[in-house]
Amino acid sequence: MAKSRNNLLGVGGQRKKLSRAEQQGAGSARGADRKVAEDKKQELVRKMRERAEAQAATTAAEPGEQPGQSEQDTLPAQS
């Protein structure tokens, strides 16, 4: 029987069947894999932030230009 869009009874999927180990409280390998993936992601984000901060500091400290000063301020006035 086709599902009607107005009748949402039974929508939501099925629950995952637990293995015996998972039923007894032992975590699955999938949980450990997710933890490792999350750790790798956090490490990558940390490295990217450090690189961005270093690049911003290098850009701000270029010789001949002080932070907060625009190009018009550094050019001599023309009469």
Q: What is the mean pLDDT of the chain?
A: 76
DSSP at 66: -
Q: How many angstroms separate the CA atoms of 45 and 26, rounded?
A: 30
Q: How far is CA 76 from the centre of its chain?
A: 45
Length of the chain: 79
Q: How many angstroms separate the CA atoms of 44 and 38, rounded?
A: 10
Which residues make Cβ contacts (< 8 Å) with residue 65, sequence separation at least 6? 74
Q: What is the pLDDT of residues 36-71, one digit of tens each?
A: 999 999 999 999 999 999 999 988 887 655 555 555
Predicted local distance difference test score (pLDDT) of residue 28: 67
Q: What is the pLDDT of residues 12-44, one digit of tens each?
A: 777 778 778 777 777 667 778 888 999 999 999
